[in-house]
Each structure stands twice: as C-alpha cells, then as structure tokens.
Amino acid sequence: MGLTAADLPPMVEALRARIGQKYELQQVNRLITADIIGRYALGVGDDNPLFREPEYAAATPFGRVIAPPTFLATVARTRPQGLRGVHALFAGLRIEFERPVCEGDRLTSVTALDSLEERQGKYAGTSYVQQNVTTHSNGDELVATATSYSFRTLRDEARDRGKYQALTRKTFSADEIAEIKQKYLDEVKARRGGGVLDLSQIRVGDELPSLIKGPLSVADVICWLNGVGAGVFIKSSRQWYEYLDRHPAAGMLNEYGVPDAPECVHWDEQIAQKIGMPGPYDYGWQRCAWLGHLVTDWIGDHAWVQQIRIELRAPNYVGDLTTLTGSVTSVDPDTKSLTVRMQAVDHRGRLTAKGEARVVTEVPAHV
C-alpha cells in the first residue's frame, strides 16, 4: 500500500522548515570540457558545431566552445527532496545568465528550497509544487541563477484517477516516417550558423524555422541520459543496493519484483502505468532542451541566450512526435536584444510546453 493524503501533512511541515537552507549539490560535472558540452548537445539531438567543435568555436566571437542554455542540467540538476515515496514530476524552469557557460569553467552549484505550495489538480488530487533556486558559479564569478519547479504527487492516487489513461498512442506508417526523416534532413539548412543575427532586419511576429523531435523512443531517452549524466537515482549493481539500504522508499518494483530507479517511468511501460501514465514519457529537462535548440539554431554564432523560461504543460510519451515553433515578440536595438516565444505541440495538437527566451547579440567581454 502506498502513501495516502493523510501521510503528507507531517512530511510537508518538516520540509517547509528547510526553506532557505542552502546546500551544495552533488554535481555530475564540475570541470566543463568541450567533450562534455558536445556530448550533452548530441544527447538533445543538436549537432551545432558551436557546441561540439573547438576549432570551429575558436573562430566565432566566443573564441571557444560554449554550452547550450539548458546545459546546466548536466552540471547539477536540483532534485526535489523531503517527501520520500511521493513521485516528482518536473514542471519547468527559469534561468538567468550573466554570460554563457564555457569550456574551461569549473562550476559550483548551491541550491535552496524557495517555496512549497499545495495545489489541487485532476492528475493526482492534492499535490505540492516545490520551487528551488540554484546558483552556478565559476570560482567567485556568478554565471547563472536557475529556478526549477516540480510537482510532487501520490502515485496510487494518480493511477486511480487515470487522467491520461484514455490518451491514444499513434502507430506511424512507412510514408509518415519517410516524411519525418526528410524534415530532419532539411532542418540543418535553416540553421543560421556563422550568419549574423541583424536586429535591423528582425520584426515582431517573425517566425523561427520549426524543428521536430521524435517520434520519441526509448533510445532518445538513453541519448539524453548519456548526454546529461545519469543523476542520483540511476546506479548500477552494489551502488544501487547501497543506495536502497539508505533510502528504502526510492525503488519502484518492476513486473519481476526487482526494485528499479524511480526514473524507470521514462522507459518501463508497466511502471509508467503505475503512476497514471499510458506509457513511458520524456524527461522534462529534455523537452526544455529541445526548445533551447530551436532558439540557438535560429540566433547563430554571434548571439547568446541570456534568459530562458519554460513551462511544461502535458506529458510527452514514447511514440509522440513533437513540433517546436517560435516567434519574435520584441526587438530592442538599444540593448541589442530581442525576445522570442516558443512552444512544443505534439502530433495530436496538444500544447506540451511553452516558454520565452531573451537573446543578446553582443558577446560579453568576459567570455
């Protein structure tokens, strides 16, 4: 028998007592190398040479490899704490950069729970939204401040309510797959690359060239994990069972009675259904990274993303095809910046994510 709503109040109050208490995150990567950045980019499906090839990047205004705006996921992902056995669904992020993350940075990440709010929803009834604020610094230099949001839900309640269980999953024809393949082959032609983003030629309402992602496969999830790093829950052999010894509620039993990582909902059909999903789904950070890819392909090698904000609206399941689109919402020649609005829509027409990015066309002198 899983946790019930009656079990939550004492856990929630104990967690609220920790609001504002800072601690250093366990980091996947601390010294940032071109190889780490490149592996992350490919994990997202982004082959931009600015993120992968030192020789190419050296000839750009940045002078070295820089990281995509969502790369901080592979430095240190804030994981919701304090509610053991209560499932976490990543809900969105906001990142403000002082400058891009660059090859050669040695980052330290410090976080604190910022707020914990109770919500009522159709997916799992009573849930809690945890907000963490994390700073990423290169020595004494602040590089970025990231705010992340997660929903904490009761697994049994979500399964019993079955909000998403009626959602059908598509089987693609050979002709549809051929069309998808051609779209992928055509995308790179629209990438700005070494072309300059000229603000005098940009107008409010201009549309960004669209990108597609999917149909989502378990291989896509594996590529993401390979790029971002496995994280705290995905461990092998003895390390996993040592972790279970310290955190007995962490494992989720699969059909063979074996305790698997909570993140197996991203690749295991039956366990995903145990938490009220029709099947495995992507990582929230993964979809945020897709929207970042949309923006960086368009802005080219002479501009950078100073701020990005993304809100996840619905799950994206294995088999779903996602189309990413965006448009310009403001242009400010005085600050040499512009803003774009972007969104992710699946093949059913469901909005699964939306966001906004502020782009600056002047490279910081201290990069």
- Dump pLDDT digits (tens) for 54-107: 999 999 999 999 999 999 999 987 777 777 778 788 899 999 999 999 999 999
Rounded Cα–Cα distance for residues 294 and 57 (Å): 19
Strand partners, 355: 310, 342
In the DSSP assignment, the letter for residue 224 is H
Rounded Cα–Cα distance for residues 79 and 76 (Å): 9
Question: Which residues are within 8 A (CB) of 150 and not within 5 positions of it... i.e. 6 or more apart?
Answer: 80, 88, 89, 90, 91, 129, 130
pLDDT tens figures, 8-51: 888 888 889 999 999 998 888 999 999 999 999 999 999 999 99
Rounded Cα–Cα distance for residues 57 and 84 (Å): 44
- The answer to whether 326 touches 206, Cβ cutoff 8 Å, is no
Q: Which amino acid is at 156?
A: D
Cis bond before residue 215 (omega within 30° of 0)? yes
pLDDT tens figures, 108-167: 999 999 999 988 766 657 788 899 999 999 999 999 999 999 988 876 665 656 667 778
pLDDT of residue 161: 61
pLDDT of residue 166: 79
CA distances from 35 to 53, 64, 115, 138, 297 (A): 9, 12, 36, 18, 20
Strand partners, 116: 130
Instruction: Please give the full DSSP string across 50-97, using - where no structure is assigned.
Output: GGT-HHHHHTSTT-S-B--TTGGGGT------S-TT-EEEEEEEEEEE
Rounded Cα–Cα distance for residues 31 and 102 (Å): 10
Q: At 4, list the tokens.
A: 């019930």
Give the E-state strand segments of the chain in sequence order: 23-24, 87-97, 107-121, 125-138, 141-153, 211-213, 252-253, 259-260, 304-312, 322-332, 337-346, 351-360
Tell me what percent of the residues of the chain surpass a pLDDT of 70: 95
pLDDT tens figures, 218-242: 999 999 999 998 767 889 999 999 9
Distance of alpha carbon 161 from the chain centroid: 26
Question: In the structure, what pLDDT confidence band is assigned to residue 319 with cuts at 50, 70 and 90?
Answer: very high
Is the pLDDT at 170 greater than 60, yes or no? Answer: yes
3 state DSSP class of 129: strand
Rounded Cα–Cα distance for residues 361 and 313 (Å): 30
pLDDT of residue 119: 83
Long-range contacts of 182-189 (CB under 8 A, 24+ apart): 183/212, 184/212, 187/211, 187/212, 187/297, 188/47
